[in-house]
Amino acid sequence: MRSLFGFHKAEDAGPAKTSEKSSLADNANSELPPIFHCASIDGPLQTIKPLGGDELKVLERLKKEIPDLIKDLPDVDAESKKYIDESVPLNIEQWLTDECLARYVRARKGVYEDTRKALRKTIEWRAQTRPDALRPDVVEIENKTGKMYFNGFDKFSRPVIYMYNHRQNTKEPDNQIRWVVYTLEMVIRNMPPGVEKVSLAIDASHWGFSNSVAIGTAKKFLDVLANHYPERLGRAVAFRPPKFFTAFYSLVSPFIDPVTKAKVAFVNPDSTDTKPQADSNSAWIPIEDCFVRDKLEVDCYGDWPYKYHHDIYWKAVEAEFAEHRAAQQALAKE
């Protein structure tokens, strides 16, 4: 079902491109709500590679060791306490599903010691920082301009996170990371059954020195993604990247593992040529490889005339967090 939290006006949206489709959307003044829940699964889900025999043995061993894995957890650190809702209980055992364990096994190539160490590291991180309990008001400033947000699903029913870097409005790296983590946690809570990965739709057409993410922040984000959200990225698609973007990507790419790097793709909506360009090691793909055009925002060259309206979007975020908090409290009482 769709989340209907109100309507928005096109004139309240963040900066938009002056494309024909964008102009048509503005003129239509469409009243469209954000979508947090998949209305239906129309197409095939992305295939999740099953674990092999040795990997399954590691998974079963880890399942038996869950009581030891969650022993002697650290308390929430003083800094993190400033940003969380302490009424959200810590439910690590609920988080440690078979699917969760399998993602860590895949990410660590089925090596038991590496997998156990990585899993314990994340368990401690979740206990210390409580990413699932981050309060919406802490990160709201990061979403004021609609520079990154969850809205809708791709052709494989994976949640889509839109990134519009030209709407950058903050410079505090720690809060930027908290905002990315908050968004990932919300996206994961709203994945349809059978879906484990997320798609990134990145409007790179306005990328420049004034709005690019600092290399240090990008590295920290990649570290959080690789260590604490393994096997969660389905596809990262950059639309119409300029030369500066591909140069920036070449600086960051050495810090990306080969498996993740293979999930990065570029799109030129005005061309059917999908051959890799000389300044990029990533594939160039048609939009239809990942997205359904009428469910892709017009500002990312799709046909969906959605325009970000912060007040309406944030009401949806707050309502989703309230539901999450209530669900976790009910679970803790069982």
Q: With bands split at pLDDT 50, 70 and 90, how would you rate the model's confidence at 157?
A: very high
pLDDT tens for 189-208 read: 999 999 999 999 999 888 76
Q: Looking at 60-69, 84-93, 117-126, 278-287, which range is the least confident one? A: 278-287
Tell me the β-bridge partners of 52: none
Angle between helices 310-333 and 136-143 (to 10 degrees): 150
Structure tokens at 65: 């060791």
Residue 176 burial (CB count, 10 A): 21
Q: Is 19 exposed, middle or buried (0-12, 13-18, 19+ CB in 10 A)?
A: middle
Structure tokens at 70: 């969650």
d(CA 151, CA 308): 10
d(CA 281, CA 288): 21
Say if strands 159-164 and 148-153 run parallel, antiparallel, or are unpaired: antiparallel
pLDDT tens for 219-232 read: 788 889 889 999 99
The closest alpha carbon to 183, from 118, 119, 126, 134, belongs to 134
Buried b (16+ CB within 10 A) or exposed e, 38-52: beeeeeeebeeeebe
Residue 19 has pLDDT above 50, yes or no: no
Residue 3 has pLDDT above 70, yes or no: no
- Please state the domain extents for the chain: 10-30+142-323, 53-133
- pLDDT of res. 34: 84
Say if strands 264-267 and 283-284 run parallel, antiparallel, or are unpaired: parallel
Residue 20 has pLDDT above 90, yes or no: no
What top-level class would CATH report for the domain 10-30+142-323?
Answer: alpha beta
Sheet harboring 233-239: ordered strands across? 148-153, 159-164, 198-203, 233-239, 264-267, 283-284
Question: Is the distance from CB of 255 to CB of 220 less than 8 angstroms?
Answer: no
- Give the chain's mean pLDDT: 85
Amino acid sitting at position 202: I
C-alpha separations of 238 from 6, 165, 241, 263, 264 in Å: 30, 11, 6, 11, 8
- pLDDT of res. 292: 92
Q: Looking at 206-210, 226-230, 284-288, 315-319, which range is the least confident one? A: 206-210
Residue 72 has pLDDT above 50, yes or no: yes
